[in-house]
Amino acid sequence: MTSQLWRITSLAWFLGGVFLPWVLASTPQNIPPGTVVSWSEPSAKVQQVVSTWAQKGGIQVEVSPSLADLPISLMLENVPLWDALDRIALQVQGRWSVRADGKTLQLLPQGKGRTIATHNGPFRIVLRSITTRWTPETADSACDLLLLVHWEPRYPVYRIDTSPRITTARDDRGQVLASEVTKSYQYPLASTAELQVRLFGITRPAQRIAHLEGDFRATLTDQLLVIRWDTPPRDKPLTQKVGPLICTWKSLRRDPALQLWEVELEWQYPSDHPHFDSYEESKWLRDVKIQWRTSEGRLIRPQGEEIYATGRKVQAICQFPHAIDPQAAGGTLLLITPAPLREVRVPFRLDNIPLP
């Protein structure tokens, strides 16, 4: 037995079905808008309603057979998607579970849990678990909260905080709680991420966290752009402007020894492009694709490619098989790349969080 005895208790909610009241933070202008949905039919079945909404938001839903055919009565007009889905879950005593890819939601029977969640724009923030730690000799305590953040997949997110910045935290007796401050990013490959919150100062008489407010940073784009060149460069590079992006097909070179065509591209983002450290550059280039579309409509990927970024400039060199003949009429070079990136702060607030 060690001299310092820790009591560790955990309480976990996995998207339980009855959500506690939450306050929707105001949406700053730089946060992209979330999908809004409406419903005017006086009676419908759960599966029909949620499938219609999910399609509009670019997500998929799976409904438990015990809930799918339940009738619901709901009249909504231009309500945020996440709000509407939570209302459905409340009405049928269900709960939403998020798959690992963030693109699929499951509506399951409620069980004994309840959902503690809020949303802001395309982001939804859900409390997943709470773990408290207490040292009897010193009465020191810490409380770890695990937040699940997921978002509409139509917005690619390239980095997001590992821990949010907490601006206000109080327990149900009015005691102000301190929070651990960390500044680091994670780089999600799906439309979901887990954020850690650590609070200090919770005492045993406290029954709940009355108020938790903060924000987190996310670097994202509104969409992926498709840039096309219908003719190759001959005497000089071909430059075009797509919105604020300046895109140039610099050269086309035939390598007869390797039986390849080498394509060199360069494109530049606007001056307000977010800063990335050198080790981060590859993270936001994950969605860049270069393809050759033949006159018959076939899409051909390069046999080899090198894509790298320096600040706001991106350069790519790729090799296509000799058989495509980019100098022949009818073919098109396609570049798929993120629209201008921006870093946003997403405020959130969760209230009335029970302590284990």
Same domain, 256 and 177: no
Q: Which domain holds residue 74?
A: 7-220+343-354
Largest CA distance in the chain: 81
What is the pLDDT of the chain when averaged over all its residues? 89
Mean pLDDT value of segment 126-140: 83
Both 311 and 240 in one domain: the answer is yes
Structure confidence at residue 114 (pLDDT)? 83
**Alpha helical stretches, state H, the chain:** 46-57, 65-68, 81-91, 281-284
Residues 39, 173, single domain; the answer is: yes
What is the pLDDT at residue 20? 36
Q: What average pLDDT score do residues 44-55 get? A: 93
Question: Tell me, what's the pLDDT at 283?
Answer: 94
> How buried is residue 162: exposed, middle or buried, by Cβ count under 10 Å (0-12/13-18/19+)?
middle
Tokens matching residue 315: 């350069």
Residue 191 lies in a domain: yes
Same domain, residue pair 188 and 305: no
Domain assignment present for 296: yes
Residues 214 and 229 in one domain: no
Q: Based on the domain organization, do 143 and 282 belong to the same domain?
A: no
Q: How far is CA 22 from the centre of its chain?
A: 21
Least confident of 133-137, 150-154, 158-162: 133-137
pLDDT exceeds 70 at position 48: yes
Q: How confident is the model at residue 6 (pLDDT cuts 50, 70, 90)?
A: very low
Task: Provide mean pLDDT across the span 226-247.
Answer: 95
DSSP secondary structure of 42-80:
SSEEHHHHHHHHHHHHT-EEEE-HHHHT-EE---EEEEE
Percentage of the chain modeled with pLDDT above 70: 91
Question: What number is the average pLDDT over the span 268-292?
Answer: 95
Is pLDDT at 17 greater than 60 in this prediction?
A: no
Q: Which residues contact 238 (CB under 8 A, 6 or more apart)?
A: 229, 231, 232, 248, 249
pLDDT, tens digit, 9 for 90 and up, residues 80-90: 999 999 999 99
The answer, yes or no, to whether residue 142 has pLDDT greater than 70, is: yes
308-349, pLDDT tens digit by residue?
Answer: 999 999 999 999 998 888 888 889 999 999 999 999 999 999
Cβ-Cβ contacts under 8 Å for 110 (sequence gap 6 or more): 16, 17, 18, 89, 93, 94, 95
Q: What are phi and psi of 263, to 5 degrees?
A: -115, 135
Q: Residue 2: inside a domain, yes or no?
A: no
For residues 261 and 252, the answer to whether their CB atoms sit within 8 Å is yes
Residue 211 pLDDT > 80, yes or no?
A: yes
Q: Which residues contact 228 (CB under 8 A, 6 or more apart)?
A: 332, 333, 334, 335
* Residue 1: exposure state from Cβ atoms within 10 A (0-12, 13-18, ≥19): exposed
Q: Which range (29-33, 138-142, 277-281, 339-343) has the least confidence?
A: 138-142
Rounded (5°) CA angle 130-87-121: 75
Residues 234 and 194 in one domain: no
pLDDT reading at 136 higher than 80: no
Rounded CA separation 141/133 (Å): 5
* Percentage of the chain lying above the pLDDT 90 cut: 75
Inside any domain, residue 22 = yes
Looking at residues 257-285, what average pLDDT do you find?
A: 94
- 65 within a domain of the structure (yes/no): yes
Residue 324 lies in a domain: yes
For the ranges 133-147, 205-219, 283-297, the lowest mean pLDDT is seen at: 133-147
Same-domain status, 208 and 228? no
Residues 148 and 214 in one domain: yes
Assigned domain for 1 exists: no
Q: Let me know how long the chain is.
A: 356
> Would you place residue 288 in the very low, low, confident or very high pLDDT band (cuts 50, 70, 90)?
very high
Q: How many domains are contained in the chain?
A: 2
**Same domain membership, residue 203 and residue 65:** yes
Q: What is the pLDDT of residue 138?
A: 67
Q: 315 and 177, same structural domain?
A: no
- Residue position matching structure tokens 């394509």: 263
- 212 and 270 both lie in a single domain: no
Average pLDDT over residues 131-138: 78
- Determine, yes or no, domain membership for 16: yes
What is the reported pTM?
0.87
Is the model's pLDDT at 29 over the cut of 80? no
| CATH number of the domain that residue 118 is part of | 3.55.50.30
| pLDDT score, position 298 | 93
Task: Characterize the bridge pairing of strands 178-179 and 76-80.
Answer: unpaired
**pLDDT at residue number 181:** 85
Q: Taking 60 as the threshold, does the pLDDT of residue 7 lie above it?
A: no
Least confident segment among 27-31, 95-99, 127-131, 201-205? 27-31
CATH of the domain at 259: 2.60.40
